[in-house]
Chain A
Amino acid sequence: MPGRRRLSDLFFPHGEFRAKVLLAIIRSRRFIHIRWLIIATILLLVSVERWLNPQFRRPRAIELCTLALAAINTLWMLVGRSLLRRGADQEPPPPELLHRVVWFVNGQMIVDLLFLTAVLRYSGGIENPMVIFYLLHMLIAAMLLRPANALLQGAWAVLLFGGLVFGEYFGWIAPHYPFLAPPAGSSSHADWMHALTTTGVLATGVLATLYFTLQISARLDEQEARLRGAMDALQRSQEAIRDLQARRSRFMQTAAHQLKSPLAGVQTLAGLIHDGVVPAEAVRPTCARIIQRCREGISQVGELLTLARIQEADPTRPGQELANARQVLLKLCQRFQPVAREKQIDLSWELPRTRDLLVRIDPASLADCLGNLIDNAIKYTPGPGRVTVTLRPGDVLRAAPPDEPAPQPADAPSVPYVSITVADTGMGIEPDALAASADPNSHRSIFDAFLRGNNALAAGIPGTGLGLAIVREIVEQAGGRIAVRSAPGRGSAFTVVLPTPLAPTPPDAVKSTRSTVVVLPMEPG
């Protein structure tokens, strides 16, 4: 029933701590035990009074009320037990259980207040100091229940007591039973001043108790929420550290293996020569292999050192250095031109002539990053082929709103990002590897260290498997993004978007790794 659901939502306990206290009280049957104690005390007091003053005849009603309370308390005991049968051991407790518990506590309180008033009715009403027990109920209500719920209970208490006092004053409820046997018993119930004052004081007491207790429990709730937030953050950062540690450890194992591989190759081949297994005519080519492996090993160590240097930089304090993207690219393209020409690859570049584009990254890292992309493009493109390097102002990966004109080279200094694309007509990346690269949880991304494409391995193209890992690390640290487009046999295009000094500085939140990379569909044509 949606209506009832909304009403119970209003009364629903807030905060996990309060819900737990509520459940613990129901589970320990504390209310029920206290009620048994009260029932026994009332019956004892009535007997004592009767023994002390045999002339005074207290009506049987007070005992009947107490016995009725005992019957109801037994009922509460059974209800409480069946309530906890479902879902009480679940962590966190299911909302339905908490809803039921809230209704249960409310029910007990309503009936308790009614019985308190009934007992007062037959034991002096306004004269009986037991009126203080209304306040005890208000304390419990304000601590365990929602403010609206507690206020309703307060209103119920005041209504009951006011009804009793004014009922007796106006004679609607008669006769009046004095608190103590006459002549000690007063007739204050017939004094309108006394009736008004006591009811007023009780109402104020109820209100003040509710107000202060609710204030304090609201502070406790705030504190609880703050604590929970801090704990969640702590847990998240712990998970991030654990993830980082796992990645580092995996990386170390892989790195050690990758460094061992060329050495193992060298030792095996040298051992074969030494043992005379290699026939004389094959000794020279085998030595050439050994030298080549040593060269590869050294370049791998160099790249590992580069990666270590980049990873060492404090990601929460981005460098203040600026690199001139145009100059860096121009130098790189000129440097790679002879290598490309040798492979019959047409290396061309398209750089805006009008202005220099400054990027928030240190020039050496930018050169490492783009150098790796150009090197890969040339390496994985069989000649004759084409490699194109393009530098554009603006973030080409962000779809511009239709009314916003695309940034022109002349606007260059006013853009927050620049985009650099290295495209080739080479062998491309296999769809599996590309899909893994788009998945942030995959460890088989082409940007993961030491992972190389099967088609590259099959083609026998030497490589360390570290180039793209270096590219990603640099772009990530600079707060940039990478997009890959590729199709086997058609080529690949890597676009790097880097921030200019005008880009907003990212907040010091932990940089999300891997979200740097996006895989886009290959453009037609």
Chain B
Amino acid sequence: MPAERKRILVIDDDPDMHAALRLILEPAGYQVTCCTTGPEGLATMRRDPPDLLLLDIMLATPTEGFHLAHEMRHDGRLQSVPIIMISALGESMERECGEEIGNGSLRVERFIDKPFQAATILNAVNAILAAGPGAGGQAAAGER
């Protein structure tokens, strides 16, 4: 359990995912903030950068999550915020879209498929936040 509560931002248009992620992460000692849209999430992050972002890919448009991640990587204050992408898109499409938008250079710490289990989320979040900001990429290849 972290000594000071780490802040996690969730951007997902599905309120059920907000509820599920709160149920998983809050008892583990994380402070969870949820946003429904990309612009709202980006504004929240710019006001107060979180320690980790859980980002849905399909928001108002089918690839808004990628665009948002791309924008973050070009924003000095947000470029080191680790990102876990959560989506029901499926692996191949995630990679395809990600490469298309970031020319293959878009750094995302991990992809997690919906539906997910509590342990998958917790393990990923714990691993990335324990490794420190911007260092979660090494763990990316492992579990899905």
A binds B: yes
**Which of A263, A450, A454 is most buried by chain B, counting CB atoms within 10 A of its CB?**
A454
Q: A-B contact count, CB below 8 Å? A: 80
Q: Are B24 and A272 in contact (CB under 8 A)?
A: yes
Q: Are A457 and B16 in contact (CB under 8 A)?
A: no
- Which A residues are in CB contact (< 8 Å) with B62? 250, 253-254, 257, 450
- Which B residues are in CB contact (< 8 Å) with A454? 37-40, 60
Tell me if A176 counts as interface (CB < 8 A to partner B): no
With contact pairs A269-B16, A289-B19 given, residues A257 and B58 touching in the complex (Cβ less than 8 Å)? yes
Tell me if A332 counts as interface (CB < 8 A to partner B): no
With both beta carbons as reference points, the residue of chain B lying nearest to A448 in the complex is identified as B61
Q: Are B115 and A264 in contact (CB under 8 A)?
A: yes
Tell me if A451 counts as interface (CB < 8 A to partner B): yes
Give the bracket for the number of chain B residues in contact with chain A: 20 to 34
Question: What is the bound-complex CA distance between A257 and B39, given in angstroms?
Answer: 22
Interface string of B27-57 (1 = CB under 8 A from A): 1000000001111100000000000000000
- Which A residues are in CB contact (< 8 Å) with B118? 271-272, 275, 277
Q: Are B17 and A268 in contact (CB under 8 A)?
A: yes
Question: What is the bound-complex CA distance between A503 and B38, given in angstroms?
Answer: 45
Contact of B60 among A253, A277, A453 (CB under 8 A): A453
Q: Are B39 and A268 in contact (CB under 8 A)?
A: no
Question: What is the bound-complex CA distance between A499 and B25, given in angstroms?
Answer: 56
Tell me if A278 counts as interface (CB < 8 A to partner B): yes
Q: Are A264 and B114 in contact (CB under 8 A)?
A: yes
Q: Are A257 and B16 in contact (CB under 8 A)?
A: no
Q: Are B117 and A275 in contact (CB under 8 A)?
A: yes
Q: Are A268 and B93 in contact (CB under 8 A)?
A: no
Q: 22 A-B residue contacts at CB 8 Å? A: A254-B62, A257-B89, A260-B88, A261-B88, A264-B88, A264-B114, A265-B14, A265-B17, A265-B20, A265-B114, A268-B17, A268-B20, A268-B115, A268-B116, A272-B23, A277-B23, A277-B118, A278-B23, A444-B61, A452-B13, A454-B40, A457-B36
Tell me if B59 counts as interface (CB < 8 A to partner A): yes
With contact pairs A253-B93, A260-B114, A261-B114 given, residues A272 and B20 touching in the complex (Cβ less than 8 Å)? yes
- List A residues at the B interface (Cβ < 8 Å): 250, 253-254, 257, 260-261, 263-269, 271-272, 275, 277-278, 282, 286, 289, 293, 443-444, 450-454, 457-458, 460
- Which A residues are in CB contact (< 8 Å) with B17? 265, 268
- Which B residues are in CB contact (< 8 Å) with A250? 62
| 8 Å CB interface, B54-108 against A | 58-62, 88-89, 93
- Which A residues are in CB contact (< 8 Å) with B39? 454
Tell me if B15 counts as interface (CB < 8 A to partner A): yes
- Which A residues are in CB contact (< 8 Å) with B38? 454
A115 to chain B, nearest CB (A): 66
Question: What is the bound-complex CA distance between A271 and B17, given in angstroms?
Answer: 13
A349 to chain B, nearest CB (A): 32
Contact of B117 among A271, A293, A452 (CB under 8 A): A271
With contact pairs A257-B89, A450-B62 given, residues A460 and B16 touching in the complex (Cβ less than 8 Å)? no
